[in-house]
Structure 1
Amino acid sequence: MSYSLKGKVALVTGANRGIGKSIVDAFFASGVAKVYLAVRNPESTQELQAQYGDRVVALPVDVTDEASVKRLAEQTRDVEILVNNAGVMNLVSPLDEGAEAALQHEFNVNVFGLLRTAQAFAGTLEANKGVLVQLNSIASMKTFGDMTTYCASKAAAYSVTQGLREKLGEKGVSVVSVHPGPIATDMGKSAGFDDAPQAEVVAASIVSALESGDFHAFPDEVAKQIEAAYQSYAENVILGEMSV
């Protein structure tokens, strides 16, 4: 089902830089009325506040803290578009001593953070007939050796996203799963992707997916290669009706 952004109220976690900041820009360009900037440190959003004035509201959140997420949800009951963009990545081989700690860290943010956020906002999204946008990755479908723990967390997040599509869908809430390839954010550059596409391509794909009513969004050329190979499986298994 297509979803119009005009006049809507959005909330973006991790909105202070990279993909999150680009989503804020793209949302305003598409007619969104207000955006909550949900970040660990609201002071880090000063550039966006200077640019958009009272159309943005910066609020603190730590997605690893259930109480913090619930507090955020209580403050933002007018949210119609929730973008769960906050995420972390550790570069570590599964054979390294630090792999277990890295996996725990990434799961706490990338997986449990999604669960905490979806649960806290489920009632608001149902009441407002809203939509949840989850930033996943091609790493949810393909594992890369020195990103093994990150890929495992994104695979788990993608699985949770599918479950949320089913259960939130029963409440009239749409879900979008976004799967970028390498993007030239601080996180991407730390992994050596200096020449990767800019974050704007991800933001544009989210707007397009919302307007077209798509569940999956594959923003960049690398992601589109995955999409081409994955499309039949996605249509027949992920999005298809199956009895179990």
Structure 2
Amino acid sequence: MFCSNSGKNTKPLIVNILSIGSTAFIKRLGTYCASKAAAHLLTQSIKQDLEEKGIKVIGVYPGYVNTEMSQDVTHVEKASPESVATSICQGIEAGDQIYLHQNHIFAGHKI
């Protein structure tokens, strides 16, 4: 369904929100990191599969974000959801994978 409708958009793009836990182990969150690593591999696979159809796929890899999920985490600086959204928009414009750490954007591989 998605792919059949994507031709109507001149620049179709899929943005998958993952986690820095996709690429690095976080103490006491092994299961979470493993599931995010699987989602990262799926994102990379979909990226390759859809590239030939002109659909770009971008992964977003934030650290801790100040949400209900991280409310009990107090020992680290957390990004605001708004700053993450702004960073995603900036990454899309730059055409990069997006890695976020304490409100700093690190561009990854060009998409």
* Common topology (TM > 0.5): yes
User: Which of 172, 178, 183 is 2:54 aligned to?
Assistant: 172
Structure 2 counterpart of 1:219: 100
Give the conservation status (yes or no) of the 8 Å contact 1:205–1:218.
no
User: Which of 52, 56, 64 is 1:182 aligned to?
Assistant: 64
State the TM-score, normalizing by the size of structure 2.
Answer: 0.82
User: Which of 154, 157, 163 is 2:45 aligned to?
Assistant: 163
**Quick check: which one's helix share is greater?**
1
Find the residue that maps to 2:4 and give its secondary structure.
helix
Correspondences of 1:9-88 after superposition (within 5 Å) = none
Structure 2 counterpart of 1:200: 82
State the TM-score, normalizing by the size of structure 1.
Answer: 0.40
One-letter identity of the residue aligned with 1:123: S
Give the conservation status (yes or no) of the 8 Å contact 1:201–1:219.
no
Aligned residues: 108
Q: Percent identity?
A: 33
Aligned-partner Cα distance in 2 for 1:126–1:134: 20
The runs of at least 4 consecutive aligned structure 1 residues that moved more than 4 Å come to none
Aligned-partner Cα distance in 1 for 2:77–2:24: 21
**RMSD of aligned Cα (Å):** 2.4
Aligned-partner Cα distance in 2 for 1:163–1:126: 20
Taking a change above 3 Å as real, the CA distance of residues 126 and 150 of structure 1, as seen in their structure-2 partners, is farther
Tell me which structure has the larger Cα radius of gyration: 1
User: Is 1:139 the counterpart of 2:21 in the alignment?
Assistant: yes
Taking a change above 3 Å as real, the CA distance of residues 164 and 126 of structure 1, as seen in their structure-2 partners, is farther
Find the residue that maps to 2:100 and give its secondary structure.
coil
One-letter identity of the residue aligned with 1:159: L
User: Is 1:121 the counterpart of 2:2 in the alignment?
Assistant: yes
**Quick check: which one's strand share is greater?**
2
User: Which of 130, 136, 150 is 2:32 aligned to?
Assistant: 150
Give the conservation status (yes or no) of the 8 Å contact 1:180–1:223.
no
* Unmatched tracts of structure 2, length 5 or more: none
Taking a change above 3 Å as real, the CA distance of residues 155 and 126 of structure 1, as seen in their structure-2 partners, is farther
Find the residue that maps to 1:176 and give its secondary structure.
strand
One-letter identity of the residue aligned with 1:124: N
